[in-house]
Amino acid sequence: MASGKEIRTQIKSIKNTQKITRAMEMVAASKMRKAQERMRAARPYAEKIRNVIAHLRLSHPEYKHPFMIERETKRVGFIVISSDRGLCGGLNTNVLKLALNEIKTWSDKGADIDICTFGSKSLGFFKRLGSNIVSELSGLGDTPQADDLIGSVKIMLDAYDEGRLDRLFLVYNSFVNTMTQKPEIEQLLPLAGEEDEQLKHYWDYIYEPDAKDVLNDLMTRYIENQVYHGIVENQASEQSSRMVAMKSASDNAGKLIDELTLRYNKARQAAITQEISEIVAGAAAV
C-alpha cells in the first residue's frame, strides 16, 4: 500500500490537472456559443447560394460550365478540415478516418490523390502518411474570414479547371448538436446534377455580361462558401466536442480524487492504529 505522502502528492497533481481541464471546459463553452452563432449567421448565404445553384441546374444554360461535367476519374482531390488543436475528444480522429477510408477506395480504383488541408491536425496526419499535399492553411483562429480561404480553394479549383483533378471532395465535421458531431464527406465537384426530365418548361437566365464569366464567378463563390461553411461547422464541432471531453475529464479527475482521498484516510488511520498498538505494547512490556 502506498504511503500517506505518496498518495498526497498524487492527489495534488490530479487536482492541478482538474483545474486545467475545468478552465478549458469553461473556455470551450463560451467559444462554442460564439462559434454556433457564427454558424447560424453563415447559414442564410449558404442556403441562398445553394438555391441559385439548384435553379441553375434546372435551367438549360447555353454554356456548360466544366464544373458541371462528369469526367473519367484519374485524380481525386480532397479538402480535409480539422481543428488546429487537440484535446477535443475523437473529433479529428473520426474525420481523418473517414477521409482515409474514402481515399483508399479511390486509390484502389487506380486514382491518384491530391490533398488540401485546413487545420494543423490534418496537415500533420497527411504529412506523416506521405500523401501529396498541394495546399495547406492552418492557424485560422476563432474567427475565420471567408477571404482567408480563397487562395487554398483556388489551387484546387484551378487544378480542376486544367484537368489535373477530376473530382473534389470536402471532408469535415458537421455539427448536429452539442453532444453529437458527425464526420461528413461531400462531393464538391463535379456538381452532382441530376438531369430532371420532367421539367415544365425550357428556360435560361439572362447573363450579364456573358454566361461564362458569370457562371465562373458564381461557381467559385459557391465552392468557397461550401468550404467556409465546412470550416465554421467544424469549429463549432471542435469547441463543443472539447467542452464535452473536458467535462468528462474533470468528472473523472473528481472521481479519482475521491478514491484517493478515501485511500489516504484509510492509510492514515492504519498508521495511527499501528502507532497506538505499538505504544500500548511498549508500555505493557515495561
Partner 1 sequence: MAMNIHVDIVSAQEEIFSGTAEVVVVPLVTGEVGIYPRHTPLLAPIKSGEVRLRNGDDEQFFYVSGGILEVQPHVVTVLADTAIRAGDLDEAQAVAAKERAEKIMANKKTEVDYAKAQAELAEAMAQLSTIAKIRKRGKT
Binding residues for partner 1, rule: CB under 8 A, are 38, 41-42, 44-45, 48-49, 51-52, 55-56, 59, 146, 203-209, 213-215, 217-218, 221, 225, 228
CA distance 131 to 68: 28
Return the C-alpha cell found at 85. 488543436
Q: Which residue in the block uniquely carries the three cell numbers 505499538? A: 278
- Of 107, 219, 103, 69, residue with least CA distance to 158: 219
Q: Minimum Å distance from CB 67 to partner 1?
A: 15
Q: Using alpha carbons, list the distances in angstroms from residue 253 to 16, 36, 200, 256.
A: 10, 28, 64, 5
Q: Which residues pair with 133 in a beta bridge?
A: 115
Q: Minimum Å distance from CB 57 to partner 1?
A: 13
Residue closer to partner 1, measured from CB, 221 or 263: 221
Residues 184, 190, 180, CA angle at the centre, nearest 5°? 10
Q: Minimum Å distance from CB 232 to partner 1?
A: 10
Residue closer to partner 1, measured from CB, 204 or 275: 204
Residue closer to partner 1, measured from CB, 134 or 214: 214
Return the C-alpha cell found at 58. 434546372
Residue closer to partner 1, measured from CB, 12 or 48: 48
CA distance 200 to 198: 6
Residue closer to partner 1, measured from CB, 59 or 265: 59
Q: Is 116 tagged catalytic? A: no
Estimate the crossing angle of helix 91-108 against helix 211-285, to 10 degrees: 130
CA distance 111 to 130: 16
- Phi first, then psi: what are they for 189, rounded to 5°? -135, 145
- Phi first, then psi: what are they for 112, rounded to 5°? -85, 155
Q: Minimum Å distance from CB 189 to partner 1?
A: 19
Of the residues 28, 32, 53, 88, only one is catalytic, namely 88
Q: Which residues contact 268 (CB under 8 A, 6 or more apart)?
A: 4
Q: Minimum Å distance from CB 124 to partner 1?
A: 28
Which residues participate in catalysis according to the annotation?
88
